[in-house]
């Protein structure tokens, strides 16, 4: 099994601790006046989503996680199960509602996503940074309400709800940032 030394530590590294895969979210380096350098890693558990912080002395090593990132396409939702297809092998993978969490709001049929497999089993997926969704339901803007920063909730084709500017109408296609859930722009009328 591959290992990473402290000099390899960086954000985005996937390592294995206590038999579970972790993603390094933040890596900091401190060199006190005396002694070894200290590396502090903030890590996210890829299965449970919990955060963990650990310190390592210079020269220590950690085990690399046996994870693989593949490109998949979202196919459909069946109850509390979300079905994806590997773009190369056409193999289908299923994720539960707990694994998807609130990312379901961005999933429309045919959407290209990234999926992480651990020991051949899917554990999480990531939608594209920006997703275009059609507004299916929202309150009409108040006539004459031209004040800046007027917002309202809108429901999109996936059933998700987002806060949008007051000028957005039903039928508009809007771009949403999937990392933050924020409205970016109106794509079309």
Mean pLDDT of all residues in the chain? Answer: 87
pLDDT digits (tens, 9 = 90+) for 14-42: 888 988 898 888 889 888 888 888 899 99
Domain with CATH 2.40.50.140 in the chain: 67-126, 130-188
CA 74 to chain centre: 14
**What fold does the segment set 67-126 form as a domain?**
OB fold (Dihydrolipoamide Acetyltransferase, E2P) (2.40.50)
At residue 175, the pLDDT reads: 94
Say whether domain 3-64 belongs to CATH 3.40.50.2000.
Answer: no
CATH 2.30.30.30 in the chain is located at: 3-64
116-138 pLDDT, tens digit per residue, is 888 888 988 889 999 999 999 98
Output 149 or 111, whichever has higher pLDDT: 111
Q: What pLDDT, on a 0 to 100 scale, did the predictor assign at position 189? A: 63
pTM reported for the whole predicted model: 0.74
The 3-class SS string of the chain reads CCEEEHHHCCCCCEEEECCEEEEEEEEEEECCCCCCCEEEEEEEECCCCCEEEEEEECCCEEEECCEEEEEEEEEEEECCEEEEEECCCCCEEEEEHHHHHHHHHHCCCCCEEEEEEECCEEEEEECCCEEEEEEEEECCCCCCCCCCCCEEEEEECCCCEEEEECCCCCCCEEEEECCCCEEEEEEEC
Spatial CB neighbours of 90, under 8 Å, sequence gap ≥ 6: none
pLDDT for the residue numbered 142: 63
Could you report the per-residue pLDDT of 157-175, keeping only the tens digit for each? 999 999 998 888 899 999 9
Q: Which two tokens stand for residue 61?
A: 């090593």
Which pair of tokens denotes residue 107? 């999933």
* Model pLDDT, residue 155: 92
Q: Quick check: 145 pLDDT over 70?
A: no
Of 36 and 153, the one with more pLDDT: 153
Q: pLDDT at position 33, please?
A: 81
Question: Residue 34: what pLDDT?
Answer: 80
pLDDT value for 150: 82
Is domain 130-188 annotated with CATH 3.10.50.40?
A: no
pLDDT, residue 1, reads: 64
Q: Which pLDDT score is estimated for 146?
A: 58
Percent of the chain with pLDDT over 90: 37
């Amino acid at each position: 099994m591959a290992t990473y030394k402290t000099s390899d530590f960086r954000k985005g590294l996937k390592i294995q601790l206590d038999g579970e895969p972790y993603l390094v979210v933040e890596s900091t380096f401190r060199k006190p006046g005396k002694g070894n350098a200290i590396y502090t890693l903030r890590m996210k558990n890829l299965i449970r989503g919990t955060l963990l912080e650990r310190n390592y002395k210079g020269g220590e090593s950690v085990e690399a996680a046996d994870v693989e990132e593949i490109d998949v396409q979202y196919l459909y939702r069946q109850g509390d199960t979300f079905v994806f297809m590997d773009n190369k092998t056409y193999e289908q993978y299923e994720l539960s509602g707990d694994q998807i969490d609130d990312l379901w709001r961005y999933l429309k049929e045919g959407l290209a996503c990234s999926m992480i497999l651990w020991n051949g089993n899917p554990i999480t997926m990531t939608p594209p940074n920006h997703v275009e969704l059609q507004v299916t339901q929202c309150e009409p803007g108040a006539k004459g309400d031209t004040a800046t920063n007027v917002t309202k909730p809108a429901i999109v084709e996936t059933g998700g709800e987002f806060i949008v500017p007051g000028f957005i109408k039903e039928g508009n296609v809007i771009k949403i940032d999937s990392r933050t859930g924020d409205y970016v722009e109106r794509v079309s009328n």
